[in-house]
Amino acid sequence: MDIKKVFIVGSGLMGSGIAQVCAQSGIEVVLNDVSDEILQKGIKSIAWSVGKFVEKGKVSEDKETIMGRIKTSIEYGPASDADLVIEAVFENKEIKKEIFSKFEDVCKPEAYMASNTSAIAITELGAATKRPEKVLGLHFFNPVPMMGVVEVVRGVSTTEETVEMGMEFVKKVGKEPIRVEKDVAAFLLNRINFPSTIEAIRMVEDGIGTVEDIDKGVKLAFGRKMGIFETGDMVGLNVTYGALMACYEETKDPRWYPPQLLRRKVAAGELGRKTGKGWYEYNKDGTKKEKKRG
């Protein structure tokens, strides 16, 4: 099936990013969230990002044409004629299952259903529907417009036809797909990424190194564009916590259990850029505050 219309639940960083790359690729999008106020915040973010792409000549169309492909709704009704529906909310299994149950009620029989989860089992989400064979994982990375890879995850019941649809969709939106053939906790890339994040936090806990120096080191030595803690602040510490807990609850393996420092920061509401403080502190315009020394 050629994907011409996509319905996305969740207008945060991930959902709005997915909406943007879809619209830039000529796909009609309906972005859904719980309120118009939240949706307009997402649209504002997309418009700014698209404007930057236009300025740099990275897209062939003008901003108005691209933005014209994105509609918003607080209802699930517009999902009825979507070819693909994507859930992109925070890492809470019960909320995600509820969304997939709603998809089942409104989507046309031939529609495909995907989750952008980074850790929760696709098989379990598919079981919330009557068509688990059409459910897959499409794990985009943050920030979506800039990151070039997407994991295409097969659940136990996912058919090869559904996986192939996912592969072609990812290519259509300008990304490179990676197949994940087994529905394991953290899938493929985060099974590499999460342990380094956990170890970095523990080194800060133990006073071995600072947030600033660890980030500087991984950027200069490993060639990463953003440090581990800079990335954590952008994604949201609560999102990292939720993903790690999902892995822990799935496997009961203590290596996935969130470090105490992360747990405390989440409990304190220090969630990153969106709250003005996480691993770093931020000004009102989102820029990082310079740390005072001495």
* Residue 181 is among the residues annotated as catalytic for this protein: no
Question: Rounded CA gap, 88 and 99, in Å?
Answer: 10
Q: Which of 139, 157, 238, 270 is catalytic?
A: 139
* Residue 283 is among the residues annotated as catalytic for this protein: no
Q: Which of 25, 32, 115, 118 is catalytic?
A: 118
Question: Rounded CA gap, 109 and 1, in Å?
Answer: 13
* Residue 196 is among the residues annotated as catalytic for this protein: no
Q: Which of 91, 124, 151, 270 is catalytic?
A: 151
Partners of residue 137 on adjacent β-strands:
115, 153
Is 197 within 8 Å of 240 (Cβ atoms)?
Answer: yes
Is 257 within 8 Å of 241 (Cβ atoms)?
Answer: no
7: three-class secondary structure by DSSP: strand
* Residue 139 is among the residues annotated as catalytic for this protein: yes
Is 182 within 8 Å of 154 (Cβ atoms)?
Answer: yes
Is 112 within 8 Å of 162 (Cβ atoms)?
Answer: yes
Kindly report the number of other CB atoms within 10 A of residue 43's CB atom: 19
> Both tokens of residue 186?
């953290």
Closest CA to 174 of 59, 61, 268, 28: 59
Q: Phi/psi class of residue 188: alpha, beta or left (left: φ > 0; alpha: ψ in -120 to 50)?
A: alpha
Q: Which of 25, 190, 238, 270 is catalytic?
A: 190
Q: Which residues are catalytic?
A: 118, 139, 151, 190
